[in-house]
Amino acid sequence: MVRVNARSLLPAALTLLILAPAAQAQTAPATGTVPALGAASLSVHGGVATKKLRYYAPAQRITVRGVVKPYVAGEVVTLYALRRGRVTKRVRRTVDALGRYSFRFRAGKPGLARLVVKHAASAAQVAFKTKSEMVRVVNWKAGQGDSGVKVLLLQRQLLRLGFATPVSGSFEGLTANAVLAFRKTNGMGRTNYASRAMFVKLLRGEGAFKLRHPKAGKHVEFDWSRQVLVLADKGKPYRTYHTSSGAPATPTVFGTFKFYLQTPGTNAKGMVHSSYFIRGYAIHGYASVPSYPASHGCLRVPIPSARAIFNWINIGDTIFAYR
């Protein structure tokens, strides 16, 4: 009697299905199988964040990413943006071959919004949703005497972009100088008021000074056209300061120089913490630092910033002074 293996009587395709490894369950299951479980993470990117919220300017791009585990490639997930419980945005995306999803969209009008990603139950996977993340779209402006979250984030972003400011949440003199330096750097009106347009740049991470000599190592740059002084290192602006150079009758010299002398304290001419780079020309603190060229040829900086600049500069460091 010949014994016949029952498996040999099955169609080849069905035999392969029986022998297939369990790992292939990541793709859509066959009809009649139990839908896969599912859970997903959610992270929001862009803007500026505190521990509680992430802030954006109107029309700024928001990116939402996440990973589904376990996942079924090709399944659809939907991003919902809700304001006061009402859906204001609904966007659909598919889960990729690695279980990831991504959304990019622009922020709407000012206000608070809740973001959540959901998956509706399908034959392949059960329903699930992510945790919610709160974001706020803002249209801020700030001036001296203001305080709170908007000033704190103003200061954080200015410092991150290399502008010298405390991070205290209070808009005082040093912050006003940093705002003026930012505005001068970016060709905005030369005031110390943080306008809505300035906040838009800051919330987008834009507006840092672009070095003319990024490969020069540790050095100083003075840009006459914008009246700003920049301490630079490792190809980036470390600190950018509001500065006033020589008046038309007593212009500042231009060229490449080395610092050769430093004198601490205040001298008989009212120059504070002076760093000389050629003859009597120096970077120094001074009582009057207008937003236009007004000195006798030196590079004036506000007195509260003079010591930090003096301490950062070393004898032998290079300064590039250019138009």
What pLDDT score was predicted for residue 33?
A: 77
pLDDT digits (tens, 9 = 90+) for 77-109: 999 999 999 999 999 999 999 999 999 999 999
What pLDDT score was predicted for residue 17?
A: 27
Tokens of 63: 């990116």
For the chain, first and last CA: distance in Å? 103
> Rounded CA gap, 47 and 38, in Å?
29
Q: Are 157 and 149 in contact (CB under 8 A)?
A: no
What pLDDT score was predicted for residue 5?
A: 43
pLDDT digits (tens, 9 = 90+) for 102-148: 999 999 999 999 999 999 999 999 999 999 999 999 999 999 999 99
Distance (Å) of CA 202 to CA 1, 138, 182: 86, 12, 10
> Rounded CA gap, 239 and 58, in Å?
28
Q: For the range 27-32, what are the long-range contacts, defined as Cβ-Cβ under 8 Å and sequence gap of 24 or more?
A: 27/72, 27/73, 27/74, 28/72, 28/74, 28/75, 28/123, 28/124, 29/72, 29/123, 29/124, 31/123
Number of neighbouring beta carbons within 10 Å of residue 175? 27
> Rounded CA gap, 267 and 274, in Å?
9
Helices then strands (H, E): number in the chain?
5, 20
Looking at the predicted structure, is the pLDDT value of residue 51 above 70?
A: yes
Q: Which of 124, 114, 112, 134 is nearest to 77 (CA)?
A: 124
CATH class of 219-322: mainly beta
Parts of the chain belonging to CATH 2.60.40.10: 39-137
Q: Which CATH superfamily groups domain 39-137? A: Immunoglobulins (2.60.40.10)
Residue predicted with more confidence, 157 or 5: 157
Looking at the predicted structure, is the pLDDT value of residue 11 above 50?
A: no
pLDDT digits (tens, 9 = 90+) for 202-228: 999 999 999 999 999 999 999 999 999
Q: Residues of 116-148 as b/e, b for ≥16 C-beta within 10 angstroms?
A: bbebeeeebbeebbbeebebbbbebebeeebee
Tell whether pTM > 0.75.
yes
Number of neighbouring beta carbons within 10 Å of residue 272? 23
What pLDDT score was predicted for residue 14?
A: 28
Helix or strand holding residue 322 (H, E): strand 318-322
Please work out, in degrees rounded to the nearest 5, the angle formed at the alpha carbon of residue 47 by the alpha carbons of 44 and 49. Answer: 75
Parts of the chain belonging to CATH 2.40.440.10: 219-322
Amino acid at 198: M
What pLDDT score was predicted for residue 32?
A: 56
